[in-house]
Structure 1
Amino acid sequence: MDIIYRLKTLRLVPVVALPTVESGLRLAELLLDCRLAVMEVTYRTECAGEALEQICSRFPELVVIAGTVVSPEQADQAVSAGVEGIVSPGFTARLATHCQARSIAFFPGVCTPSEVQAAREEGLQNLKFFPAAQFGGIKMIELFGALYPDVLLMPTGGINQDNLVDYLNCANVLCCGGTWLSPQKMLAKGDWGEIEQRIKRAVDLLDRQA
């Protein structure tokens, strides 16, 4: 199934910085149990590469995305692990070309019209709007929609339980990325009860908006 269709259907992507591989495996299982079958594992911790490989291998039904990818080498590692998509905090033509050559969905980070246009010139129409809250939030998303009606955005940064629906109601939003579901400190502490409750509250909110 096409990753764009799946992300549009799922609407929310948990973005995680894993302290250990084991925490990633447990979180993957929990997300599937809670019917949120997607995870973006960021290259912000040393175990990210191994975690991606094991999660992709053990949970083929999960949409696994590599996040905070800033080099072709990281992209190659993620593709070899089996991810379905690659997210970068920024845009460079070099990384875009590299990912396209590997036939992997690539979502570069943008926050200005110039960056959106540069990405479009490389044939990219599904972009990460990051950091969303710091660069105008919903008002900026609406402006991008007026300027570039062919572009869909994945806003990340400042998204939470309280404003998620407002972002999802924007016609040019593909899905939202969120770190509030399983913050790194909470994962490190093993606060799985609170993490589960946060995921369930988010899924319930999505169900009520369906």
Structure 2
Amino acid sequence: MSWTLSPADVFSASPVVPVMVVEDAADAVPLAKALAAGGITVFEVTLRSAAALDAISAIARELPEALVGAGTVLNVAQYDAAVAAGAKFVITPGFTPALLKHAKAGPVPLMPGIATPSEAMQALELGYTHLKFFPAEINGGAKALKALAGPLPQLRFCPTGGVSAANARDYLAVKSVMTVGGSWMLPAERVAAKDWDGITRLAADAVAAVKG
């Protein structure tokens, strides 16, 4: 393994990771700066838009002290493209053995998504201990993660999917959960309106909510 940044470093960098869908690359840096002003400096830019890779490059260039990563990575080609764009980590909604084996030899850490104990065991067999639990709420939420911790105590999780200000602390109360992912601090209408001050306030509220 040649990772210089560990999955634990990523998961411990912030109690909440914003899941960012950037439709316009010009919004990437102002959006990231707005989140940073609210106390969030770890960003997951999902590869769900044509602007995603350009957004990652812009954030990596303009906010070098932040951790910007790529989400919704589905295959080896997307992993390589995200790394080339400047992503410092990669998160996936699920995994294939080919992708996990490729990332093991890659330069940045990958945190694979799992939804079942069998998937968690497969990821662990391939050497992955820091996982995304997705979609979290549909798959049993915090109670499911607490149950998984019994037979698989060595695993650590970032639950994403249905996580909100209302339940984030429930997840973080589970010993195996290091951080949570969500988009509640990034409502689409505020991004579209370029309401960066409003997003800063929502980011600060999100940090306060998860820290209690």
What range is the shorter-chain TM-score in? over 0.9
**Of 32, 37, 52, the match for 1:33:** 37
Give 1:185 shift.
4.2
Give 1:25 shift.
0.8
Query: Counterpart in 1 of 2:154?
Result: 150
Deviations 1:55-95 (A, max 9, x none): 11111111111000012111111111222210011111111
Runs of 4+, deviation exceeding 6 Å = none
Query: Counterpart in 1 of 2:198?
Result: 194
Percent sequence identity over matched residues? 35
Mapped partners of 2:95, 2:174: distance in 1: 23
Query: Counterpart in 1 of 2:164?
Result: 160
Mapped partners of 2:46, 2:83: distance in 1: 14
Higher helix share: 1
Report the 3-state secondary structure (helix = DSSP H, G, I; strand = E; otherwise coil) of the residue aligned with 1:116. helix
Query: Counterpart in 1 of 2:11?
Result: 7
Query: Counterpart in 1 of 2:143?
Result: 139
Alignment of 1:1-210 (within 5 A): 2=6, 4-207=8-211, 209=212
Say which is worse superposed, 198-207 or 161-170, in terms of deviation: 198-207
Is contact 1:17–1:183 with CA below 8 Å preserved after alignment?
A: no
Runs of at least 5 residues in structure 1 that lack an aligned partner in the other structure: none
Greater relative contact order, per chain length (Cα 8 Å cut-off, separation 6+) = 2
Runs of at least 5 residues in structure 2 that lack an aligned partner in the other structure: none
Mapped partners of 2:61, 2:13: distance in 1: 23
Report how many residues are paired: 208
TM-score, scaled relative to structure 1: 0.93
Report the 3-state secondary structure (helix = DSSP H, G, I; strand = E; otherwise coil) of the residue aligned with 1:146. coil
Report the 3-state secondary structure (helix = DSSP H, G, I; strand = E; otherwise coil) of the residue aligned with 1:195. helix
Deviations 1:27-80 (A, max 9, x none): 111122222111100001110011111111111111111000012111111111
Is contact 1:42–1:66 with CA below 8 Å preserved after alignment?
A: yes
Mapped partners of 2:166, 2:55: distance in 1: 30
Mapped partners of 1:67, 1:101: distance in 2: 19
Say which is worse superposed, 198-207 or 20-29, in terms of deviation: 198-207
Is contact 1:19–1:188 with CA below 8 Å preserved after alignment?
A: no
Q: CA RMSD in A?
A: 1.5
Is contact 2:103–2:110 with CA below 8 Å preserved after alignment?
A: yes
